Amino acid sequence: MTTDTHQAITRIAEIIINELKLEDVTPETFDADLDLVDEIGIDSMDLATIALVLRDEYGIRIDEDDYPKLTTVRIIAEYITTKLAEKE
Amino acid sequence: MENAKDITEYKFSDIIASPSIKERFEKVRKYFFLRESTYDMSNRCNLRCEGCYYYAGETEKQFAEENLNPADWQQLMEAEKERGITFVVLAGAEPSYVPELCKTCYDTIPLGCIASNGLMPLAKEIDYRIHISVWGNDKTSLEIRKAKNMLVRQMENYQGDSRAIWVYTFTPVNIDQAREVTETLAANNHQITFNMFSAPTDYNGHLRHTPQTLAHTRAVMSELLAEFPETVVFSPYNIVAHTHEQGLHSLFSCSYPRMNPSTAIGLGRSFRQYRTDLQWDRAAACCVPDTDCDDCRHYAAGSAVVTARMYRHATTPQHFSAWLDYVDTYLAVWVKGYDKGENLCKEMIEPPEQS
Protein backbone atom coordinates (compact mmCIF):
# COMPACT_ATOMS: atom_id res chain seq x y z
CA MET A 1 0.00 0.00 0.00
CA THR A 2 1.45 3.41 -0.94
CA THR A 3 1.64 6.25 1.56
CA ASP A 4 -0.91 8.20 -0.51
CA THR A 5 -3.40 5.35 -0.43
CA HIS A 6 -2.86 4.83 3.28
CA GLN A 7 -3.45 8.52 3.91
CA ALA A 8 -6.58 8.48 1.76
CA ILE A 9 -7.96 5.47 3.61
CA THR A 10 -7.34 7.13 6.96
CA ARG A 11 -8.96 10.38 5.83
CA ILE A 12 -12.00 8.64 4.30
CA ALA A 13 -12.43 6.60 7.46
CA GLU A 14 -12.28 9.82 9.44
CA ILE A 15 -15.00 11.37 7.27
CA ILE A 16 -17.26 8.33 7.59
CA ILE A 17 -16.78 8.16 11.36
CA ASN A 18 -17.58 11.84 11.62
CA GLU A 19 -20.61 11.85 9.31
CA LEU A 20 -22.14 8.68 10.74
CA LYS A 21 -21.15 9.60 14.29
CA LEU A 22 -19.65 6.16 14.80
CA GLU A 23 -18.41 5.37 18.29
CA ASP A 24 -15.73 3.02 19.54
CA VAL A 25 -13.68 3.25 16.36
CA THR A 26 -10.89 5.56 15.20
CA PRO A 27 -9.57 6.24 11.68
CA GLU A 28 -6.54 4.14 12.55
CA THR A 29 -8.58 1.15 13.74
CA PHE A 30 -11.31 1.35 11.06
CA ASP A 31 -11.25 -1.80 8.94
CA ALA A 32 -10.89 -0.52 5.38
CA ASP A 33 -12.41 -3.72 4.01
CA LEU A 34 -15.65 -3.63 6.00
CA ASP A 35 -18.71 -3.61 3.74
CA LEU A 36 -20.24 -0.19 4.31
CA VAL A 37 -23.79 -1.36 3.53
CA ASP A 38 -23.89 -4.79 5.12
CA GLU A 39 -21.54 -4.22 8.05
CA ILE A 40 -21.77 -0.50 8.80
CA GLY A 41 -25.40 0.01 7.78
CA ILE A 42 -24.80 2.93 5.43
CA ASP A 43 -27.55 3.88 2.95
CA SER A 44 -27.73 6.06 -0.13
CA MET A 45 -28.44 9.27 1.81
CA ASP A 46 -25.47 8.68 4.11
CA LEU A 47 -23.33 7.93 1.09
CA ALA A 48 -24.53 11.08 -0.69
CA THR A 49 -23.47 13.15 2.31
CA ILE A 50 -20.08 11.45 2.45
CA ALA A 51 -19.69 11.90 -1.31
CA LEU A 52 -20.24 15.65 -0.93
CA VAL A 53 -17.58 15.92 1.76
CA LEU A 54 -15.20 13.91 -0.43
CA ARG A 55 -16.04 16.21 -3.36
CA ASP A 56 -14.95 19.15 -1.25
CA GLU A 57 -11.86 17.35 -0.03
CA TYR A 58 -10.54 16.10 -3.37
CA GLY A 59 -12.24 18.34 -5.94
CA ILE A 60 -13.65 15.40 -7.88
CA ARG A 61 -17.12 14.48 -9.06
CA ILE A 62 -18.52 11.21 -7.72
CA ASP A 63 -21.12 9.99 -10.19
CA GLU A 64 -24.36 8.87 -8.59
CA ASP A 65 -24.26 5.78 -10.77
CA ASP A 66 -21.02 4.84 -9.05
CA TYR A 67 -22.51 4.79 -5.54
CA PRO A 68 -23.26 1.05 -5.62
CA LYS A 69 -19.61 0.35 -6.41
CA LEU A 70 -18.32 2.23 -3.36
CA THR A 71 -18.68 -0.63 -0.95
CA THR A 72 -15.61 -0.26 1.29
CA VAL A 73 -13.24 2.49 2.41
CA ARG A 74 -10.45 0.85 0.43
CA ILE A 75 -12.55 0.83 -2.74
CA ILE A 76 -13.47 4.48 -2.21
CA ALA A 77 -9.77 5.33 -1.79
CA GLU A 78 -8.96 3.51 -5.04
CA TYR A 79 -11.85 5.26 -6.80
CA ILE A 80 -10.59 8.65 -5.67
CA THR A 81 -7.02 7.81 -6.68
CA THR A 82 -8.23 6.87 -10.15
CA LYS A 83 -10.34 10.02 -10.47
CA LEU A 84 -7.42 12.21 -9.39
CA ALA A 85 -5.14 10.48 -11.90
CA GLU A 86 -7.71 11.16 -14.65
CA LYS A 87 -7.62 14.86 -13.78
CA GLU A 88 -3.86 15.10 -14.25
CA MET B 1 -7.06 19.12 -16.87
CA GLU B 2 -10.47 19.42 -15.24
CA ASN B 3 -10.56 22.17 -12.69
CA ALA B 4 -12.53 21.76 -9.46
CA LYS B 5 -14.28 25.06 -10.18
CA ASP B 6 -15.51 23.56 -13.43
CA ILE B 7 -17.21 20.75 -11.56
CA THR B 8 -19.24 22.89 -9.23
CA GLU B 9 -19.51 26.52 -8.44
CA TYR B 10 -19.71 25.92 -4.72
CA LYS B 11 -18.20 23.52 -2.25
CA PHE B 12 -20.73 21.71 -0.07
CA SER B 13 -19.12 23.34 2.96
CA ASP B 14 -19.74 26.75 1.36
CA ILE B 15 -23.39 25.93 0.80
CA ILE B 16 -24.10 24.76 4.33
CA ALA B 17 -22.16 27.68 5.77
CA SER B 18 -25.42 29.61 5.45
CA PRO B 19 -27.07 29.35 8.90
CA SER B 20 -30.58 28.83 7.52
CA ILE B 21 -29.41 26.08 5.15
CA LYS B 22 -27.26 24.44 7.82
CA GLU B 23 -30.16 24.46 10.30
CA ARG B 24 -32.57 22.94 7.77
CA PHE B 25 -30.05 20.33 6.66
CA GLU B 26 -29.47 19.24 10.26
CA LYS B 27 -33.24 19.14 10.77
CA VAL B 28 -33.95 16.87 7.82
CA ARG B 29 -30.89 14.63 8.08
CA LYS B 30 -32.18 13.33 11.42
CA TYR B 31 -34.71 11.45 9.28
CA PHE B 32 -32.25 9.87 6.88
CA PHE B 33 -32.84 6.66 8.82
CA LEU B 34 -36.29 6.26 7.21
CA ARG B 35 -36.47 3.11 5.07
CA GLU B 36 -39.80 2.64 3.34
CA SER B 37 -41.81 -0.25 2.02
CA THR B 38 -45.48 -0.41 1.06
CA TYR B 39 -48.25 -2.88 1.68
CA ASP B 40 -51.62 -3.53 0.08
CA MET B 41 -53.91 -4.18 3.03
CA SER B 42 -57.21 -5.15 1.46
CA ASN B 43 -58.49 -6.01 -2.00
CA ARG B 44 -61.76 -4.27 -1.23
CA CYS B 45 -62.79 -0.65 -1.58
CA ASN B 46 -66.05 1.19 -1.08
CA LEU B 47 -65.32 3.35 -4.14
CA ARG B 48 -64.56 2.64 -7.77
CA CYS B 49 -62.65 5.67 -9.02
CA GLU B 50 -61.80 6.13 -12.65
CA GLY B 51 -58.06 5.73 -13.15
CA CYS B 52 -57.57 3.83 -9.88
CA TYR B 53 -54.08 2.33 -9.66
CA TYR B 54 -55.11 -0.58 -7.49
CA TYR B 55 -57.57 -1.97 -10.00
CA ALA B 56 -55.41 -1.10 -13.02
CA GLY B 57 -52.87 -3.14 -14.90
CA GLU B 58 -52.29 -6.78 -15.52
CA THR B 59 -50.06 -7.54 -12.56
CA GLU B 60 -53.11 -9.02 -10.89
CA LYS B 61 -52.56 -7.36 -7.55
CA GLN B 62 -56.30 -6.77 -7.32
CA PHE B 63 -56.77 -10.53 -7.61
CA ALA B 64 -54.37 -11.41 -4.82
CA GLU B 65 -56.10 -13.13 -1.94
CA GLU B 66 -56.46 -11.22 1.30
CA ASN B 67 -54.48 -12.56 4.20
CA LEU B 68 -56.53 -11.47 7.20
CA ASN B 69 -54.48 -13.29 9.82
CA PRO B 70 -52.96 -10.76 12.26
CA ALA B 71 -50.30 -13.28 13.29
CA ASP B 72 -49.06 -13.50 9.69
CA TRP B 73 -48.99 -9.72 9.42
CA GLN B 74 -47.11 -9.43 12.70
CA GLN B 75 -44.60 -11.97 11.47
CA LEU B 76 -44.18 -9.99 8.24
CA MET B 77 -43.70 -6.71 10.11
CA GLU B 78 -41.12 -8.25 12.42
CA ALA B 79 -39.25 -9.60 9.40
CA GLU B 80 -39.46 -6.19 7.74
CA LYS B 81 -38.10 -4.50 10.85
CA GLU B 82 -35.31 -7.04 10.98
CA ARG B 83 -34.23 -6.21 7.43
CA GLY B 84 -34.16 -2.50 8.24
CA ILE B 85 -37.56 -1.14 7.27
CA THR B 86 -38.46 1.78 9.54
CA PHE B 87 -41.45 3.31 7.72
CA VAL B 88 -44.52 1.58 6.30
CA VAL B 89 -47.05 2.86 3.80
CA LEU B 90 -50.36 1.01 4.09
CA ALA B 91 -52.44 1.39 0.97
CA GLY B 92 -54.69 -0.36 -1.57
CA ALA B 93 -57.38 -0.96 -1.96
CA GLU B 94 -58.88 0.64 1.21
CA PRO B 95 -56.93 -0.02 4.46
CA SER B 96 -59.78 1.13 6.72
CA TYR B 97 -61.54 -2.16 5.89
CA VAL B 98 -58.88 -3.93 7.99
CA PRO B 99 -58.15 -1.72 11.02
CA GLU B 100 -56.94 -4.64 13.11
CA LEU B 101 -54.21 -5.35 10.55
CA CYS B 102 -53.25 -1.65 10.46
CA LYS B 103 -52.95 -1.77 14.25
CA THR B 104 -50.75 -4.85 14.03
CA CYS B 105 -48.43 -2.98 11.67
CA TYR B 106 -48.39 0.07 13.94
CA ASP B 107 -47.55 -1.98 17.00
CA THR B 108 -44.42 -3.35 15.32
CA ILE B 109 -43.27 -0.42 13.14
CA PRO B 110 -44.65 2.80 14.66
CA LEU B 111 -43.67 5.16 11.84
CA GLY B 112 -45.86 5.15 8.79
CA CYS B 113 -48.74 6.38 6.77
CA ILE B 114 -52.12 5.11 5.62
CA ALA B 115 -53.61 6.07 2.27
CA SER B 116 -57.38 6.20 2.69
CA ASN B 117 -60.44 7.69 1.06
CA GLY B 118 -61.44 8.85 4.54
CA LEU B 119 -65.02 7.57 4.46
CA MET B 120 -64.46 5.09 7.29
CA PRO B 121 -62.51 6.64 10.18
CA LEU B 122 -59.52 4.81 11.59
CA ALA B 123 -59.17 4.47 15.37
CA LYS B 124 -56.79 6.97 16.95
CA GLU B 125 -54.72 4.20 18.46
CA ILE B 126 -53.33 3.66 14.95
CA ASP B 127 -51.13 6.72 15.19
CA TYR B 128 -49.85 6.88 11.63
CA ARG B 129 -50.14 9.86 9.30
CA ILE B 130 -53.36 9.46 7.28
CA HIS B 131 -53.51 10.66 3.68
CA ILE B 132 -57.08 11.33 2.66
CA SER B 133 -57.61 11.44 -1.06
CA VAL B 134 -59.49 14.25 -2.80
CA TRP B 135 -60.12 14.29 -6.53
CA GLY B 136 -61.98 17.57 -6.92
CA ASN B 137 -65.07 19.13 -5.45
CA ASP B 138 -68.05 17.04 -4.44
CA LYS B 139 -69.67 17.28 -7.87
CA THR B 140 -66.55 15.92 -9.55
CA SER B 141 -66.06 13.32 -6.82
CA LEU B 142 -69.55 12.09 -7.48
CA GLU B 143 -68.82 11.78 -11.20
CA ILE B 144 -65.39 10.13 -10.89
CA ARG B 145 -65.63 8.34 -7.54
CA LYS B 146 -69.38 7.71 -7.42
CA ALA B 147 -69.64 9.01 -3.85
CA LYS B 148 -71.76 11.87 -2.50
CA ASN B 149 -70.59 14.67 -0.18
CA MET B 150 -67.11 13.23 0.12
CA LEU B 151 -65.32 16.26 1.55
CA VAL B 152 -67.95 16.88 4.24
CA ARG B 153 -67.89 13.24 5.29
CA GLN B 154 -64.09 13.10 5.30
CA MET B 155 -63.85 16.25 7.43
CA GLU B 156 -66.45 14.95 9.90
CA ASN B 157 -64.44 11.77 10.31
CA TYR B 158 -61.14 13.55 10.88
CA GLN B 159 -62.08 16.85 12.54
CA GLY B 160 -59.31 17.95 14.90
CA ASP B 161 -57.25 14.88 14.05
CA SER B 162 -53.57 15.74 13.65
CA ARG B 163 -52.95 12.49 11.74
CA ALA B 164 -54.94 13.68 8.76
CA ILE B 165 -53.74 15.51 5.67
CA TRP B 166 -55.77 15.79 2.46
CA VAL B 167 -54.06 14.87 -0.78
CA TYR B 168 -55.61 16.72 -3.71
CA THR B 169 -54.95 14.90 -6.96
CA PHE B 170 -54.94 17.32 -9.87
CA THR B 171 -56.51 15.93 -13.01
CA PRO B 172 -57.18 17.89 -16.18
CA VAL B 173 -60.83 18.31 -15.14
CA ASN B 174 -60.54 19.53 -11.54
CA ILE B 175 -57.77 22.12 -11.59
CA ASP B 176 -59.89 25.12 -10.71
CA GLN B 177 -61.82 23.20 -8.04
CA ALA B 178 -58.65 23.04 -5.91
CA ARG B 179 -59.36 26.56 -4.66
CA GLU B 180 -62.82 25.64 -3.38
CA VAL B 181 -61.46 22.55 -1.63
CA THR B 182 -58.49 24.41 -0.14
CA GLU B 183 -60.74 27.19 1.17
CA THR B 184 -63.03 24.65 2.80
CA LEU B 185 -60.17 22.78 4.42
CA ALA B 186 -58.53 26.03 5.58
CA ALA B 187 -61.78 27.16 7.19
CA ASN B 188 -61.84 23.89 9.12
CA ASN B 189 -58.15 24.00 10.17
CA HIS B 190 -57.11 21.06 8.04
CA GLN B 191 -54.00 20.70 5.87
CA ILE B 192 -53.71 19.81 2.21
CA THR B 193 -50.90 18.71 -0.08
CA PHE B 194 -50.91 18.15 -3.81
CA ASN B 195 -50.66 15.13 -6.06
CA MET B 196 -50.78 14.84 -9.83
CA PHE B 197 -52.78 12.30 -11.75
CA SER B 198 -50.25 9.94 -13.30
CA ALA B 199 -51.67 7.65 -15.92
CA PRO B 200 -51.85 3.96 -15.13
CA THR B 201 -50.30 1.67 -17.73
CA ASP B 202 -52.37 1.60 -20.91
CA TYR B 203 -54.69 4.37 -19.66
CA ASN B 204 -55.71 6.75 -22.43
CA GLY B 205 -58.71 8.41 -20.85
CA HIS B 206 -59.43 12.08 -20.37
CA LEU B 207 -57.56 12.33 -17.04
CA ARG B 208 -54.12 12.19 -18.67
CA HIS B 209 -52.39 15.58 -18.37
CA THR B 210 -51.31 17.69 -21.33
CA PRO B 211 -48.70 20.48 -21.43
CA GLN B 212 -51.56 22.95 -21.10
CA THR B 213 -53.08 21.30 -18.02
CA LEU B 214 -49.65 20.96 -16.44
CA ALA B 215 -49.07 24.69 -16.85
CA HIS B 216 -52.54 25.49 -15.56
CA THR B 217 -52.00 23.25 -12.54
CA ARG B 218 -48.65 24.92 -11.86
CA ALA B 219 -50.30 28.34 -11.78
CA VAL B 220 -53.10 27.23 -9.45
CA MET B 221 -50.72 25.41 -7.08
CA SER B 222 -48.57 28.52 -6.93
CA GLU B 223 -51.54 30.76 -6.11
CA LEU B 224 -52.82 28.45 -3.39
CA LEU B 225 -49.40 28.01 -1.81
CA ALA B 226 -49.02 31.79 -1.62
CA GLU B 227 -52.54 32.44 -0.33
CA PHE B 228 -52.86 29.56 2.16
CA PRO B 229 -49.37 29.06 3.63
CA GLU B 230 -50.74 27.53 6.84
CA THR B 231 -52.97 25.09 5.00
CA VAL B 232 -51.00 24.08 1.90
CA VAL B 233 -48.01 21.82 2.66
CA PHE B 234 -45.91 22.27 -0.46
CA SER B 235 -43.01 24.30 -1.87
CA PRO B 236 -42.16 26.04 -5.15
CA TYR B 237 -39.75 23.21 -5.95
CA ASN B 238 -42.47 20.63 -5.34
CA ILE B 239 -44.55 22.52 -7.88
CA VAL B 240 -41.74 22.43 -10.44
CA ALA B 241 -40.97 18.76 -9.91
CA HIS B 242 -44.57 17.63 -10.25
CA THR B 243 -45.86 19.88 -13.02
CA HIS B 244 -42.83 19.72 -15.30
CA GLU B 245 -43.47 18.52 -18.84
CA GLN B 246 -40.89 15.84 -18.19
CA GLY B 247 -41.95 13.22 -15.66
CA LEU B 248 -40.11 12.33 -12.47
CA HIS B 249 -38.06 9.55 -14.02
CA SER B 250 -36.88 11.72 -16.86
CA LEU B 251 -35.96 14.56 -14.51
CA PHE B 252 -34.44 12.68 -11.61
CA SER B 253 -33.91 9.01 -12.57
CA CYS B 254 -36.42 6.97 -10.62
CA SER B 255 -34.84 5.00 -7.81
CA TYR B 256 -37.69 2.49 -7.37
CA PRO B 257 -36.98 -1.09 -8.46
CA ARG B 258 -39.01 -1.05 -11.69
CA MET B 259 -36.68 1.57 -13.19
CA ASN B 260 -33.59 0.90 -11.07
CA PRO B 261 -31.88 -2.45 -11.57
CA SER B 262 -29.37 -1.95 -8.76
CA THR B 263 -29.88 -4.02 -5.63
CA ALA B 264 -26.76 -2.72 -3.94
CA ILE B 265 -28.03 0.25 -1.96
CA GLY B 266 -31.01 2.55 -1.45
CA LEU B 267 -34.54 1.78 -2.63
CA GLY B 268 -33.28 -0.78 -5.12
CA ARG B 269 -32.06 -2.81 -2.19
CA SER B 270 -34.67 -2.18 0.49
CA PHE B 271 -38.00 -1.31 -1.13
CA ARG B 272 -40.72 -3.90 -1.55
CA GLN B 273 -44.36 -3.57 -2.47
CA TYR B 274 -46.34 -6.34 -0.80
CA ARG B 275 -49.73 -7.46 -1.96
CA THR B 276 -52.61 -8.57 0.20
CA ASP B 277 -51.33 -12.15 0.11
CA LEU B 278 -48.04 -10.93 1.64
CA GLN B 279 -46.11 -11.75 -1.52
CA TRP B 280 -44.02 -9.30 -3.52
CA ASP B 281 -42.50 -9.21 -6.96
CA ARG B 282 -39.43 -7.10 -7.66
CA ALA B 283 -40.38 -6.67 -11.31
CA ALA B 284 -43.60 -4.95 -10.25
CA ALA B 285 -42.31 -3.28 -7.08
CA CYS B 286 -43.00 0.42 -7.25
CA CYS B 287 -44.55 2.90 -4.85
CA VAL B 288 -47.61 2.97 -7.11
CA PRO B 289 -47.55 -0.19 -9.23
CA ASP B 290 -48.90 -0.09 -12.78
CA THR B 291 -48.19 3.59 -13.24
CA ASP B 292 -46.95 4.54 -16.68
CA CYS B 293 -43.37 5.43 -15.67
CA ASP B 294 -43.03 8.05 -18.44
CA ASP B 295 -46.09 9.86 -17.09
CA CYS B 296 -45.32 9.45 -13.37
CA ARG B 297 -45.58 12.66 -11.37
CA HIS B 298 -47.02 10.97 -8.30
CA TYR B 299 -46.39 12.65 -4.96
CA ALA B 300 -45.44 9.40 -3.25
CA ALA B 301 -42.90 8.55 -5.94
CA GLY B 302 -41.45 12.04 -5.84
CA SER B 303 -41.00 11.85 -2.09
CA ALA B 304 -38.29 9.28 -2.63
CA VAL B 305 -37.14 10.03 -6.17
CA VAL B 306 -36.37 13.74 -5.67
CA THR B 307 -35.11 13.22 -2.14
CA ALA B 308 -32.58 10.63 -3.33
CA ARG B 309 -30.91 13.21 -5.56
CA MET B 310 -29.27 15.30 -2.84
CA TYR B 311 -25.83 15.14 -4.44
CA ARG B 312 -27.13 16.55 -7.70
CA HIS B 313 -28.69 19.55 -5.94
CA ALA B 314 -25.61 20.42 -3.89
CA THR B 315 -24.21 22.66 -6.60
CA THR B 316 -25.58 26.06 -5.60
CA PRO B 317 -27.21 27.41 -2.43
CA GLN B 318 -30.42 27.97 -4.40
CA HIS B 319 -30.64 24.42 -5.69
CA PHE B 320 -29.77 22.94 -2.33
CA SER B 321 -32.36 25.18 -0.65
CA ALA B 322 -34.97 24.00 -3.13
CA TRP B 323 -34.04 20.38 -2.41
CA LEU B 324 -34.25 21.03 1.34
CA ASP B 325 -37.72 22.53 0.85
CA TYR B 326 -38.76 19.40 -0.99
CA VAL B 327 -37.44 17.11 1.76
CA ASP B 328 -38.97 19.31 4.47
CA THR B 329 -42.31 19.05 2.67
CA TYR B 330 -42.00 15.31 2.21
CA LEU B 331 -41.32 14.79 5.92
CA ALA B 332 -44.19 17.06 6.96
CA VAL B 333 -46.56 15.17 4.68
CA TRP B 334 -45.45 11.68 5.67
CA VAL B 335 -44.19 11.78 9.26
CA LYS B 336 -46.64 12.54 12.04
CA GLY B 337 -45.38 15.29 14.33
CA TYR B 338 -42.86 16.72 11.87
CA ASP B 339 -43.48 20.44 11.41
CA LYS B 340 -42.69 22.02 8.07
CA GLY B 341 -40.52 25.13 8.09
CA GLU B 342 -40.76 28.17 5.88
CA ASN B 343 -39.64 27.50 2.33
CA LEU B 344 -36.04 28.62 1.75
CA CYS B 345 -36.25 28.94 -2.04
CA LYS B 346 -39.15 31.12 -3.18
CA GLU B 347 -38.47 30.84 -6.90
CA MET B 348 -39.50 28.02 -9.19
CA ILE B 349 -36.10 26.90 -10.45
CA GLU B 350 -35.34 24.20 -13.00
CA PRO B 351 -34.06 20.87 -11.65
CA PRO B 352 -30.32 20.36 -12.13
CA GLU B 353 -29.01 18.45 -15.10
CA GLN B 354 -28.40 14.77 -14.57
CA SER B 355 -24.77 13.99 -13.71
Confidence band (pLDDT; 50, 70, 90) for B203? confident
pLDDT at A75: 96
Lowest-confidence region among B21-25, B39-43, B55-59: B55-59
The listed CATH number (2.40.280.10, 2.40.160.20, 3.20.20.70, 3.40.50.10490) that belongs to domain B12-334: 3.20.20.70
Residue of B nearest to A41 (CA): B84
Tabulate helix, strand, coil % of chain A (nearest 5): 65, 0, 35
Question: In CATH, what class is A2-86?
Answer: mainly alpha
Cβ-contact B213, B207 below 8 angstroms: no
Confidence band (pLDDT; 50, 70, 90) for B287? confident
Distance, in angstroms, between B237 CA and closest chain A CA?
A: 20
pLDDT at B355: 56
B7 half-sphere exposure, CB direction, 13 A CA radius: 20
In whole angstroms, give the CA distance from residue B27 to residue B22: 9
ipTM for the complex?
0.91
Which residues of chain B lie closer than 8 angstroms to A69, CB-CB? Answer: 264
> What mean pLDDT is predicted for residues B347-355?
87
Q: How far is CA B258 from CA B107, B204, B210, B246, B261, in A?
A: 30, 21, 24, 18, 7
What's the whole-number average pLDDT of chain B? Answer: 93
In whole angstroms, give the CA distance from residue A3 to residue B26: 35
Task: Quickly count helices (H) and strands (E) in chain A.
Answer: 3, 0
Whether pLDDT at B1 is above 80: no
Q: Which of B13, B270, B355 faces A56 most closely, judged by CB atoms?
A: B13
Distance, in angstroms, between A66 CA and closest chain B CA?
A: 11
For the segment B89-100, what is each residue's pLDDT rounded down to a tens digit?
Answer: 999 899 999 999
Instruction: Enumerate residues 6+ apart whose C-beta is below 8 A from B286.
Output: B256, B257, B258, B273, B301
pLDDT at B6: 45
Residue of B nearest to A19 (CA): B29
